[in-house]
Structure 1
Amino acid sequence: MTSPGGDPAPRHPAPTADPPTDGVRIGAFVFDRVTGDLTGDDGAQRLPPQPAALLALLLEQPGTLVTRDAIRARLWPDVHVEFDQSLHFCVRQLRAAFGEAADAPQYIETLPRRGYRLIAAVDPVEAPSAPTGTGPARPRRRVVPLALVFAFVLVLGGATWLSGILRAPAAPIRLAIMSFVAPDAGAGPSTTTTIADHLLARLGADPAFAVVGPTSTSAFDADDAPVARVVERFAPTYVVNGRFIGDGAMLGEVIRASDGAHVWVHRFDVTDDAATVAAIIDAGLREALDRARLTTSR
């Protein structure tokens, strides 16, 4: 193509779109939907998978009610969990991350028996502009030699490195044992701290576990959400809890910390022998872990 004067028309490079970004600004925070990182004035924290998924779902319709049914279909479509407890656990983790209280929400509003909505201002995070490429090209003559050196080092040390990896023991599973304290004084000692003590003796002796015992977790017994606080403070993989439900009954629970799912639950009477209760909970925990390993290996 030529200009009216016959000279060739100057060529202009096609505009280059900015690279996409997965970050979104929520009030005073920035959330990365890929990594699950929530960054505020105090730095970044990585949300557990289920709370991150819940926040991503709320972000799809900011300011709009997201129903409980929609949340269940997205987060727990084919999993049998105690839905109310798992959902409330996720919401508590999000509120703790945002630093807000349920009775004065600035980010997540509860619509009782209906669902939740994100009420904070939401704005996309602008991606950094792509380099223009107008600077001088760097010489490429050293790329091949460096690549060859790198490959040589990998081959030389690969066998030793791989051998070390194969011999490395699996990291212990981090457990938190709650104190099993009944909310009233009617239950005898066999249904309170004694169960937790038996569990600590059984699980703490197994090198497959790294156990945070009731001496540490009991500091949160008076909290409104003691399990959530223990997860926030000690970052366990699973929480072993005893929940007293009245009429002389207690539920032994194994709770997955990442999403609050109850992976094992069993009903006991408060008059049951503490050592027997601890043995049953121990077996239930190991059964749940075996199921999780089978699911992961498929």
Structure 2
Amino acid sequence: MDGSSPVVAAASDGDRCGDSEKREEETPMQAGAVGFSISRLDTLSALRLNRTRPSADKDLRYLHLLWKPGELLQAGRSSPGKITPTRVKRMGRVQRNVGTVGKDLYAVKRLREAANSSEIETVQRLLEDGVDPCAADDKGRTALHFSSCNGNETIVKLLLSYGANPNQRDSLGNTPLHLAACTNHVPVITTLLRGGARVDALDRAGRTPLHLARSKLNILQEGESRSIETLRGEVTQIIQMLREYLNLMGQNEEKEKLEHISNQLQNTRTREQVDVVTDLLASFTSLSIQMQNMGDR
């Protein structure tokens, strides 16, 4: 090795080939290295680009390509249409990722659709599969918004039990409670209040469950077609909503008055008696609103 250059010595050590044939093949490589002023490290890297014994022509070609990185990268690429194992793995990984995202997007969309169309079993299955109940569409509407607007109390309870946010707002600023109030779904309002909905966010116009109760009672007082069972049931729903509201507001004295009215309703036997309780509840609601307005001043 005394007569060989450091470049040839490094190549020989790296490839562990000490025979004369190897050295003869490396002689043009040495000249090429000197002619192109390639460093010892670059030449060794060039030799290692081909794991088999490189010929002199191939060595010079790789040395030449070291001066043109773009061509070297192009040379390392597979021919058009050829799919290497690495490319297959990469393509598979991308497809799996896209497939997962696509599946998730379809699932959350399907959850909103099922909630909107009152498909209880589908909603339950999707929630059990781990679909996010808080996922919103491009207008910020969640499954809870749709079910609250439609008045499906069962689905509302189901969504809340899986972590749906009762205070999540859509792009217009509406919470599920807003939509339930606008559509006069009293049982849903009661469920949302129990689920943690903020009572001060019932209506963007500043209305509270008291205002909604008064509106509902006015409708009941004007109607004549309802049976006594239906009327009693609707008044009971209003009382339940007000009970939750007063409980959240900490108005214990008002709660006691409301419970007195509730007891009277339970003892009714005729339509006239139910009407009396309805009038009494309407007066209670109006008075509570007046007291509330005075407190806000």
In the superposition, the TM-score normalised over structure 1's length comes to 0.26
Compare the two structures and name the one with the higher helix fraction: 2
Compare the two structures and name the one with the higher strand fraction: 1
Pick 1 or 2: higher relative contact order, CA cutoff 8 A, min separation 6. 1
Higher gyration radius (CA): 2
